[in-house]
Structure 1
Amino acid sequence: MDRSADASSISPRRRSPGSRRSARASARSASPGRSTTGSLSGIPTDGAEPPRSLGRRALKALAARHGVRPSKALGQHFLADPNLARRIAVLAGVDRGDRVVEVGAGLGSLTVALAATGAEVLAVEFDRGVGAALREVAAYLPHVRVLEADALRVRWDRELEGGSWKMASNLPYNVAVPILFGLLERAPQVVDYVVMVQREVGERLAAWPTKQAYGAVSARLAYQADVSVLRRVAPSVFWPEPQVESVLLRITPREPPVSTLRDHLFPVVDEGFAQRRKTMRNALVRLGLSPDDAVRALEGCGLDPRVRAESLGLPEFACLAEAVFGRGPDRG
């Protein structure tokens, strides 16, 4: 997973004096320009061949060696299907020479598939016990860097250097949404995302007005990116198996389709969905308009005063935001 109290690295579990020297040598081999907030792996040992895939049996053996037990509290469901891992790499358009960030790298099944393309991979993992197992895998993958850190606190401007990046990740269920929005807001160098999330979450993220799943998070994401569902994913491809399906999403950042400032737009969106059974007239009153002014604002935007938030798209929310806050500075 990918949350931590800090971004400091830890040493592998004690095995022998020789293994401790190898760990120190690997740390010294990091290039000067790389961050020291995480562990840098990627030095093949003893001429061993890089792993081509990590299936369920290999993952369980790896976890056992490191005393890893999947944590329900951390939303840990490790991808255990090498075919799907390779498919995700294809869907993400990852190729030799690309830079890819993987958040919630876990035990490395997707990491191996991404590395096999010849891309440079930054594998971010929160759980320190899992991170030790991930470093074992990454030691055979020369273009993989392991960063043990909280993805919600990572300084992406420091970690994602060298131009544009892609993201391909099996995100932990319990923090998928804040991770995505954090990256969208703080990592403009990531130009395309293919991520796996819980189905219910994915459907909310990709929903459009009038759809049952449509909500504040849908409108917030539509403000800054195009979103599509690529496919459903069965629980059977994970270890341990979750109780729900997942989906693969493609998220492509772009300029907002409306000129209204987010600091004006998002409060109207959030208030509109705060009480879903209430009308937008009530939401505007809660934002400070008088009941009469709320009706005039809605009618001025061509809306029925009884309309609810789930029927509104970004242009309608933007019009109402301008009625509440006034028109912000032109993006022009």
Structure 2
Amino acid sequence: MTHSRPRIHDLLEANSLAPRRDLGQNFVADPNTVRRIAYLARVGPADHVVEVGAGLGSLTLALADTGADVTAIEVDAGMVPVLRDEVADRENVRVVEADAMRLDWDEMLDPSIKWVLVANLPYNVGTPLVCDILDFVPQVDRILVMVQREVAERFAAAPSTSAYGAISVKAAYWGTARIVGIVPSTVFVPRPNVESALVEITRHTPPTTDAVELFTLVKTAFGQRRKMLRKSLSGIVAAEQFEAAAVAGTSRPEELDVDAWCRLTEIVHGR
């Protein structure tokens, strides 16, 4: 049983709670939506799921219904007791009160197990959290998160499109990103002003190019994305290095795919 809109309102009122704007709390109040997310997550009894921003447990209950082992993380101390009550009869759910942006992930998630991150992420932490997971938490093998539609489009963007940016390169370096669904604002309490989208990122073996060197170069270039690379990377990349990497210095950063960025990084660092 997942939470309906009346159930969300009843839980908030009964516990003298309200959605916190500072935490970006927007609760999913539509059972069909959370069941759809659980279905798209493709998890079952043999899987280990970590959920960030579990809130009142709408998505947590849907994930628990799949039979997967669920670690539900919630930072709001007021919500945690309610969440624990809502999942008290679910032996496959563990509730953890913690800030996901400050977690020791190796301590939280057994590195010997492959995990799936499934979450309705607050808009204010969606991008940095996913980027941190990609960079530092290899035990999370697959990600399915609901974020602001614009953010989802950036993660999944192809080169030479308006949404393509530094986080698109990061996602492509670590995995394959795709948008698997659009979620209207009407399913949330409170209702946000923007649409949400579900983005899936599945890890693959990354290129051998050093990630820190690569992302430093990419971030520098996209910091001046309207400029040609020979301008935005002046003093960092010489004309002959562009040529050696088969990259036109007249290109703009959004024209380079991850392979081109890797070639350029290798040349710049003398490899």
Q: 1:97 to 1:299 in 2, by over 3 A?
A: closer
Q: Residue deviations 1:10-33, cap 9 Å, x none?
A: xxxxxxxxxxxxxxxxxxxxxxxx
Count matched residues: 270
The residue correspondences of 1:147-296 to structure 2 (distance < 5 A) are 147-161=96-110, 163-256=113-206, 258-287=207-236, 289=237, 294-296=238-240
Q: Secondary structure at the match of 1:142?
A: coil
- For residues 226 and 29 of structure 2, the distance between their equivalents in structure 1, rounded to whole angstroms, comes to 42
2:134–2:171 Cα contact (<8 Å) kept: no
Unpaired runs of 5+ in structure 1?
1-51, 328-332
The residue that corresponds to 1:323 in the other structure is 267
Amino acid at match of 2:41: A
Task: Give the alignment partner of residue 24 of structure 2, picking from 75, 81, 93.
Answer: 75
- For residues 162 and 3 of structure 2, the distance between their equivalents in structure 1, rounded to whole angstroms, comes to 38
The residue correspondences of 1:34-113 to structure 2 (distance < 5 A) are 52-113=1-62
Q: TM-score normalised to the size of structure 2?
A: 0.95
The residue that corresponds to 1:44 in the other structure is none
Q: Secondary structure at the match of 1:173?
A: coil
- Tell me how far 1:286 sits from its aligned partner: 4.4
Q: Secondary structure at the match of 2:249?
A: coil
Amino acid at match of 1:321: T
- Tell me how far 1:225 sits from its aligned partner: 1.1
Q: Secondary structure at the match of 2:79?
A: helix
Amino acid at match of 1:206: A
Larger Rg: 1 or 2?
A: 1
Q: Residue deviations 1:167-201, cap 9 Å, x none?
A: 21101110011211222233222222211000010
Task: Give the alignment partner of residue 127 of structure 1, picking from 76, 80, 84.
Answer: 76
1:79–1:238 Cα contact (<8 Å) kept: yes
Q: Give the share of equivalent positions with the same residue, in percent.
A: 44
Q: 1:281 to 1:169 in 2, by over 3 A?
A: same
Q: TM-score normalised to the size of structure 1?
A: 0.78
Moved more, 194-203 or 149-158: 149-158
2:126–2:147 Cα contact (<8 Å) kept: yes
Q: Secondary structure at the match of 2:39?
A: helix
Question: What root-mean-square deviation, in Å, do the aligned CA atoms of Structure 1 and Structure 2 show?
Answer: 1.4
- Tell me how far 1:284 sits from its aligned partner: 2.3
